[in-house]
Structure 1
Amino acid sequence: MTTAFLDCARQHGFAGEVGLRICALDGTELYALNATRTFPSASTIKVPLLVQALQEAQAGRLDLSERVTLDASDHVPGSGVLHELGPGLQPTWLDVLTLMVIVSDNTATNLVIEHLGAEAVNAWLERGGWSSTRLIGKLQLPREQQNEAQRRGECNHTSAHDQVDLLLRLVGGSLLEPAHTDLALSILQRQQLRDIIGRRVPRDLHGEPLYRLASKSGELTGVHHDVGVLYTPRPLVIALLSQGGQDPSEHPENRDILALADALWPLLAELGQTGPVGDI
């Protein structure tokens, strides 16, 4: 069974490498393929950043209602909307965290990294046992602003194992108290980029998805990831990481994304049909 997903992805035309882990909410591992292999994290690094920031809010060290003034120097390219807006905008920290996830805003992400501190983020990851996940530095910086590791070509990285473990602990309530757990899942549920896990979820007659999804995708050239909690009848925690895709285009109909989505959904449909209906 461990190669069934990859065989299906190959049949759909995906030629790259994949790391995949799927667990039930009780932690039972239902499927794993290269789960401990590290991949460039792309925007999935924003999941641990969200959780750590909400821990800071829970501890009273981050006021989610406080406003942050954006300078022109904060703008970085790539995904998101803040770099398209003028300097002087003052979103709250809750706005920043929300934008970081739901539209994968890189400018917002760098504000979070600046506030938390890269060293503190990595220490937090180590304490949590997520040893395959590391933040090398801020996103989309021009070369002259990159740190030495980034100039050497190092990048933020993670594994399917770590991503699933983090989400399992988030949903299970061991990382945040209930109100902040609900907030984290609410933000993840509102993500607008649902390229892989959410792409083939069946819909009702009104076009609404039959199953709720709290997720975060990530993309670089040749790199396509999606991690999340899918509330099928037996809820599933999923991390699909990939690299080596051959379609360099950046649009929802990217051939590698379609191949991964088409291979993943039959597996999710099979694994998600046992047990009680879950709820967020």
Structure 2
Amino acid sequence: MTDDIEAVFGRAGCEGALCVKSLDDGAAICLRADESVVPASVVKVQIALEAETWFVDGRLDPRERVTMRAADRTPGPVGISLFEDDAVFSWRGMVVLMLTISDNHATDVLLQRVGVDAVNTTAARLGLTGTVLKSDLQTMLDSIGQDIGCAGWKDSVDWASSASAEELARADEQLFASRALDPLQGTRTTPRDMADLVRLIWTDQAGPVAACERVRAVMARQLTRHRIASGFRSPVRVAAKSGSLVGVVRNEIGVISYPDAADTPPLSSPELCRARTMSRSAEPSVLPPHWPSPRFGRKARKEPPGIGRQLPATHELSTFTCMRLGMFTATGKGFRSRRSSRCGQSPGLWGGQLLSVLLSTTKVVAVLG
């Protein structure tokens, strides 16, 4: 089994790790499930759980209006990060933005309110021993800019717009050594922890029942549908959270529920290709759309990548979690010098292939996004 899974990761040009657990009987499939990884935006599920718990406990009024000044925006390719004017949202509205379109600024405003310590305390209470949140997104992005020799993130964006090819190539090398991309220095988690987090949310053990219900409901509305969701057809239900960081990290955590695995097979590769061609959704990322991606030496893109465009040959698939009324987590790290024909395919395609491998040998459903 693990050899088959390794082969799927290999065809994608990545190293991988995963942890699959069934909610039905606790059966598990693991591949480097305790490896520390960079969570990127999947950490937003933890922040959402904390905020929703505060709403239920009465520590925070979910309907309270908050004014967000345009000058204070955390960088990002979607949502409030792109607003040119001040905006007013409720706390619970920010949770929706954070989980459905991965809004970076909404995330930071929520995190500033509940606090990094509170999120880490909850992680410890839930037994997520390999999960630590170090900072908000703005601080993390600024650390990337600093690690390539700039004052911060904004300064690095301004510098990259006029830097020479040689300077961009040098920054490219420095990027991979940045603190934000090192789980031993920055925010970190493990596949097993994310699998456990999702299991606890889906069984109402992560916090108040109303808080868990709310997180489940909003995760089911994530806009990104070309990752885990691309491997399933109706009546399968998908609830997920994607995560990306500077074209190097690509993550997915989520839940796959359906009545009968035998009656609901995954899409075949040709069907996945057609689904990808029809879709026009783009995965939200921590990276602003004008930033050179996936590395400094690459040409800056004018818009987020759509379905069918090539993925970077170098990327890290950090933390994936799904459930078939059960639970799955996977993580992987790409080889920088390795290229394969599979690298140009959507994660939804080879994720569906991994799903096929797992379905052929076990009742537990797993999908890589």
Q: Structure 2 matches for 1:45-124, cutoff 5 A?
A: 45-124=43-122
* Structure 1 residues 29 and 115: alpha-carbon distance in aligned structure 2, compared to 1, 3 A threshold: farther
Q: What's the counterpart of residue 225 of structure 2?
A: 194
Partner in structure 2 of residue 239 of structure 1: 329
The alignment-based identity, stated in percent, is: 26
Structure 2 vs 1, CA of residues 268 and 60 (structure 1 numbering), >3 Å: closer, same or farther? farther
CA distance in 2, matches of 1:105, 1:230: 23
Map Cα deviations across residues 87-125 of structure 1 (whole Å, 9 max, x no partner). 321111111011111101111111111111112222222
- Aligned runs of 1:157-196 on 2, under 5 Å? 157-196=188-227
Structure 1 outlier segments of 4+, above 6 Å? none
Pick one of 254, 261, 270 that aligns with 1:228: 254
- 1:196 and 1:269 mapped to 2: Cα distance? 18
Offset, 1:68 = 1.1
1:40 aligns with 2:71: no
1:278 aligns with: none
SS at match of 1:135: coil
Q: What is the CA distance between 1:159 and its match in structure 2?
A: 0.9
Q: 1:170 to 1:254 in 2, by over 3 A?
A: farther
Amino acid at match of 1:75: R
**Are the equivalent residues in 2 in contact too, given 1:132–1:162 (CA < 8 A)?**
yes
Query: Structure 1: how far apart are the matches of 2:335 and 2:228?
Result: 17
Aligned length: 258
Amino acid at match of 1:9: F
Please give the root-mean-square deviation of Cα atoms over the aligned residues, in Å: 2.6
Question: Which range is displaced more, 83-92 or 160-169?
Answer: 83-92
1:108-162 Cα shifts (integer Å, max 9, x gaps): 111111111112222222222212111111114435579xxxx855322111100
Higher mean C-alpha deviation, range 57-66 or range 238-247: 238-247
| TM-score (normalised: structure 2) | 0.63
Q: Deviations over 1:6-26 (max 9, x none)?
A: 21232xx32222121111124
Pair 1:265 & 2:263 matched: no
Query: Do 2:21 and 2:328's aligned partners in 1 also have CA atoms closer than 8 Å?
Result: yes
Q: 1:24 to 1:91 in 2, by over 3 A?
A: same
In the TM superposition, residue 164 of structure 1 has moved relative to its aligned partner by: 0.8
Q: CA deviation at 1:187?
A: 0.3
Secondary structure of 1:94 counterpart: helix
Does the 8 Å CA contact 1:201/1:265 hold for their aligned counterparts? Answer: no
Q: Bigger radius of gyration, 1 or 2?
A: 2
Q: Which residue of 2 aligns with 1:277?
A: none
Note if contact 2:51-2:114 (Cα within 8 Å) is conserved in structure 1. yes
Q: Relative to structure 1, is the Cα distance of residues 82 and 188 closer, same or farther in structure 2, using a 3 angstrom cutoff? A: same
* Alpha-carbon shift at residue 69 of structure 1 (Å): 0.7
Instruction: Confirm or deny that 1:212 pairs with 2:237.
Output: yes
Aligned partners of 1:27, 1:99: CA distance in 2, in Å? 34
Amino acid at match of 2:74: V
Q: Match of 2:124, as an amino acid? A: E
2:335, 2:60 → 1: CA distance?
Answer: 39
Q: Is the 8 A contact 1:224 1:241 kept in 2?
A: no
Q: Which moved more, 1:34-43 or 1:19-28?
A: 19-28
1:15 to 9, 13, 16: 13
Rate the CA distance shift 1:75–1:245 in 2: closer, same or farther, 3 A.
Answer: farther
Change (3 A) 1:116 1:83: same
> 2-side partners of 1:80 and 1:182: how far apart?
26
Distance in 1, Cα, partners of 2:360 & 2:347: 20
Indicate how the Cα distance of structure 1 residues 258 and 181 shifts in structure 2: closer, same or farther if over 3 A, else same: closer
Query: Are the counterparts in 1 of residues 228 and 348 from structure 2 also a CA contact under 8 Å?
Result: no
- Verify the 8 A CA contact 1:222 1:245 in the aligned structure 2: no
- Judge conservation of contact 2:24–2:326 (CA < 8 Å) in 1: no
State how far apart, in whole Å, the 2-side matches of 1:198 and 1:272 are: 20
